[in-house]
Amino acid sequence: MLALSANSQTVKQESSVPRQHSTRFLQLVNESKKHVRETNVDEVKAKLDRGEKLILIDVREESEFAKDHLPGAIHLSRGVIERDIEKNAPDINAPLVLYCGGGNRSALAAESLQKMGYTNVLSMDGGIRAWREKGFPLAE
């Protein structure tokens, strides 16, 4: 069990174990969120249902992706996305939707891709946890 401190926020992890985020990490995420466009799971699901061509990118760790992910998503973890994005999405204008567990790592990754020149990047707020909560389909 993780201890809570006055300068942290607890977020429920996918494994139902609370995860503690430091104040500095949350400040970094909040700063990134000022510079990126966010979407939510309902908007992403609606776009997919309409047949819009989106490149879904799961930025979680490989073990998280292996457990489950959005159908059709590719895996580019936060640690390698900048290195490998051009092989997977060479068109800098392609519509990219990044997601993670809850929306923090995807915001950081979205900001990095924007700095690399990608123009149509969205971070999915709520991440896969919000997707699961809605009962939307998942792939394994």
> 36-133, superfamily in CATH?
Rhodanese-like domain (3.40.250.10)
Q: How far is CA 82 from CA 65, 88, 109, in A?
A: 18, 11, 8
E strand spans, 13-131: 18-22, 37-40, 55-58, 74-75, 96-99, 121-125
The domain spans of the chain are 36-133
pLDDT of 3 > 80? The answer is: no
What's the predicted TM-score (pTM) here?
0.82
51-73 pLDDT, tens digit per residue, is 999 999 999 999 999 999 999 99
